[in-house]
Structure 1
Amino acid sequence: MDCKETERRISRFLANDLTGRELIQFIEHVESCESCKEELTIQYLSSEGIARLEEGKTFDLDRELTEYMHTMVRKYKLRRKLRFGILVLEILAILIIAGVFAYALL
């Protein structure tokens, strides 16, 4: 993913709208590109900072952005594990059904 593509996806990332490989590529690029990380930080600070100032809350948006990025990666990895688990269960179900039919034919 290049810088232009990454910058176009910042708003989708902040809206939790990136999925799968797109999310991982975005985060990998942001973590390796100082310019894109700065742009992400600016957009995050502007959107979250204004909301927090209106609420009168104290905040550390830089830390929160880092935590948000890590949370998104953890969610992605969890979804992958769940999909793998479901696939394993589906295969087991097919094998059990095939075994029942094979036994019934004997």
Structure 2
Amino acid sequence: MARAFNIRFPHMTVTSHAARKWLMGEALPTQEKLVALAEWLEVEPTWLRFGNASSSESSASVQKSGDRIESDIRLLSEPERKIIRAALDAVFSARQILK
């Protein structure tokens, strides 16, 4: 994600550690980066910042899903992780081409 963000917005680069913290809900991007992310993902910045979850149950479900993905990725070997990274890069590249 950090690599794709940095390609699209080279004037406000982020580290992979920062992007990971965003994805894990441990940190929030600055307003400028939040607006850039919203533009890239074609969503409203307000939705990206606050979402539309109407209950704590919905938030818990999203967190549980994220925890499972993270634990599954930890089980992969380094070559398998590279395959996943390549697949994600391909998806993000295809999105950019379709814009």
Q: TM-score, normalised by structure 1?
A: 0.30
Higher relative contact order (CA 8 A, sep 6+): 1
Q: TM-score, normalised by structure 2?
A: 0.31
- Say which one has the larger Rg: 1
Larger helix percent: 1
